[in-house]
């Protein structure tokens, strides 16, 4: 298991890089990595911090109830959602971005539905996907300011889509994860690429997703 210092440094670097890509502007987005599993401890960005210039000191350790057990400040409001993703998937790292393309794409899916992405070479960047002939279902969960409810809805969507590599919160953003931070980062890059491709190609086709 990596140390708190190591994970804090990696999360801060990654957060600045995601800010630079325009995928989590201002204080939006939050990032976490599992520090230990028994008991569960998560290193996570603190609430309200601008992601431009994110520093290792902006990270906290929370327990499985989302309570801060190390570090200064308040954990991100979405900490319970990160914990839900870790429970549902066994992930070692969880990344949450608010990009233009993930926000736009999240709005098109029906309630309880998902965004389907198929046929792109870039899908092979997702864990255990070996061919472009893969159909990725990205579940879309309704947004809410009740984060306990959001965490339950996210866990339910992930139990309905155990093969998913990410999910969208409607009008809000992407959650993706990986066995470790490197894999989670790769998944953000793959999804943000695919979301832009799908959004642009739908717009070019007249803004409709099939449906005649």
Query: Interface residues with Zn ion (CB under 5 A)?
Result: 173
Q: Residue 47: helix, strand or coil by DSSP?
A: coil
Task: Give 123 or 168: the residue with its C-beta nearer to Zn ion.
Answer: 168
Please report how close the Cβ of residue 211 comes to Zn ion at its closest, in angstroms: 29
Q: Are 69 and 36 in contact (CB under 8 A)?
A: no
Q: Tokens in use for 32?
A: 């976490």
**In the complex with Zn ion, which residue's Cβ is closer, 12 or 24?**
24
Half-sphere exposure of 32 (CA within 13 A, CB side): 36
CB of 33 to Zn ion, least distance (A): 17
Spatial separation of the C-alpha atoms in residues 98 and 28, rounded to whole Å: 6
Write out the H or E segment, with its range, that includes residue 84: helix 79-89
CB of 98 to Zn ion, least distance (A): 6
Q: How far is the CB of 78 from Zn ion (least distance, A)?
A: 5
The rounded distance, in Å, linking the Cα atoms of 102 and 193 is 10
Q: Tell me how far apart the alpha carbons of residues 154 and 85 are, in angstroms, rounded to a whole number.
A: 7
* DSSP type of residue 98: B
CB nearer to Zn ion: give 92 or 173.
173
Q: How far apart are CA 53 and CA 37, in angstroms?
A: 29
Least CB distance from residue 120 to Zn ion, whole Å?
26
- Residue 8 or residue 106: which is nearer to Zn ion going by CB? 106
Name which of 173 and 178 has its Cβ closer to Zn ion.
173
């Amino acid at each position: 298991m990596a140390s708190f210092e190591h994970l804090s440094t990696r999360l801060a670097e990654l957060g600045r890089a995601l800010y630079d890509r325009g995928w989590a502007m201002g204080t939006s987005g939050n990032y976490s990595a599992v520090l230990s599993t028994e008991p569960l401890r998560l290193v996570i960005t603190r609430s309200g911090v601008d992601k431009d210039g994110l520093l290792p000191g902006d990270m906290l350790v929370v327990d499985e109830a989302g309570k801060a057990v190390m570090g200064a400040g308040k954990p991100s409001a979405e900490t319970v959602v990160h914990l839900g993703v870790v429970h549902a998937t066994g992930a070692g790292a969880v990344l949450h971005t608010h990009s233009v393309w993930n926000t736009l794409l999240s709005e098109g899916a029906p309630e309880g539905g998902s965004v389907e992405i198929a046929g792109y070479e870039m899908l092979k960047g997702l864990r255990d996907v070996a061919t472009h002939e893969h159909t990725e279902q990205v579940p879309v969960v309704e947004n809410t300011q009740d984060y306990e409810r959001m965490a339950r809805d996210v866990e339910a969507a992930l139990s309905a889509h155990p093969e998913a590599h990410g999910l969208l919160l409607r009008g809000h953003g992407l959650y993706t994860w990986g066995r470790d931070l490197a894999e989670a980062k790769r998944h953000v890059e793959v999804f943000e690429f695919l979301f832009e491709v799908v959004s642009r190609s739908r717009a070019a086709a007249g803004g409709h997703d099939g449906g005649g």
